[in-house]
């Protein structure tokens, strides 16, 4: 095994120092590697530090947390990722940071995940029929919902709710509740025939002789 000891390694020509070659792994002993900038192969920023400010990525970049990895210390903005590609039609267990649309023809249960401070889950009545088919919100084990160790029930058509886990005293607290049945305005039914007059939102077709009354949508 060869060993080279120097105080400084610098480029003889240009500003690039190459260590290792294509297909080879470079191993650096120790656990303290220092630099104010780490760049990608295209020169884009990976990590940059200026004073006490640390920047991840660069403008236009997307920073992605690997599947199965978790984050700590960043907190939440109070929002969830809505699972639009998976409408819930039967009992399921929710995951922290997700929102679900319920499209059920029967009463079902959403089991909350184990509570940890800051965990957030949301749900919305996709089918607008919670009054007929209630959604039960069940906490994990003996955890509480709004300070009570019992299930909660959503039973208003169009209802949506967001729950955040605070602590063992109150457990999951509903921070936002909406009872919204707002929909798009359906198209008017059109009709022809006779003499047409208008009264407010209504059209009146008056026939004083034989004629054809035709309705179209």
What DSSP letter does each residue of 106-157 carry, written as one string? S-EEEEPPPP-TT-EEEEEETTS-TTTS-EEEE-STT--BTTBSS-EEE-ST
pLDDT in tens, 22-73: 888 888 887 788 888 888 878 888 888 888 888 888 888 888 878 777 777 6
Residue 126, pLDDT above cutoff 90? yes
Domain enclosing residue 111, as ranges? 81-179
Q: What are the tens digits of pLDDT across the range 153-185?
A: 999 999 999 999 999 999 999 998 888 766 666
Residues 107, 158: one domain?
yes
Q: What residues form DSSP beta bridges with 18?
A: none
Residue 67 pLDDT: 78
Provide the pLDDT confidence category of residue 144 given band limits of 50, 70 and 90. Answer: very high
Number of domains the chain is built from: 2
Residue 54 lies in a domain: no
pLDDT for res 97: 92
Is 4 within the bounds of a domain? no
Across all residues in the chain, what is the average pLDDT?
A: 87
* Residue 69 placed within a domain: no
pLDDT the model gives residue 125: 95
125 part of a folded domain: yes
- Whether residues 152 and 201 share a domain: the answer is no
Return the CATH number at 147. Answer: 2.60.120.640
69-102 pLDDT, tens digit per residue, is 777 766 666 689 999 999 999 999 999 999 999 9
Give the pLDDT confidence score for residue 182 in this predicted structure. 67
Same domain, 141 and 208: no
96 and 170 share one domain: yes
Residue 104 lies inside a defined structural domain of this protein:
yes
Separation between Cα atoms, residue 58 and residue 46, nearest integer Å: 7
Q: Are residues 204 and 159 in the same domain?
A: no
30 occurs within a structural domain = no
β-pairing, 202-206 vs 195-199, is antiparallel
């Amino acid at each position: 095994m060869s060993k080279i000891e120097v105080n400084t390694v610098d480029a003889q020509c240009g500003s690039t120092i190459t260590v290792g070659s294509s297909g080879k792994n470079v191993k650096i002993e120790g656990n303290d590697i220092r630099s104010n900038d780490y760049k990608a192969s295209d020169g884009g920023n990976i990590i940059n530090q200026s004073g006490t400010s640390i920047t991840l990525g660069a403008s236009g970049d997307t920073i992605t947390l690997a599947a199965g990895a978790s984050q700590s210390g960043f907190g939440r903005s109070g929002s969830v990722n809505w699972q639009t590609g998976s409408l819930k039609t039967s009992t399921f267990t929710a995951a922290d940071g997700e929102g679900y649309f319920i499209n059920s023809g029967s009463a079902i249960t959403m089991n909350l995940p184990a509570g940890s401070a800051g965990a957030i889950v949301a749900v919305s009545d996709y089918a607008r029929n919670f009054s007929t088919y209630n959604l039960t919100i069940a906490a994990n084990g003996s955890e509480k919902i709004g300070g009570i160790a019992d299930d909660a029930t959503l039973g208003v058509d169009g209802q949506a709710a967001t729950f955040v886990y605070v602590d063992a005293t109150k457990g999951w607290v509903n921070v936002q509740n909406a009872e919204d049945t707002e929909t798009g305005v359906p198209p008017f039914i059109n009709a022809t025939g006779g003499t047409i007059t208008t009264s407010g939102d209504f059209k009146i077709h008056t026939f004083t002789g034989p004629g054809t009354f035709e309705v179209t949508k």
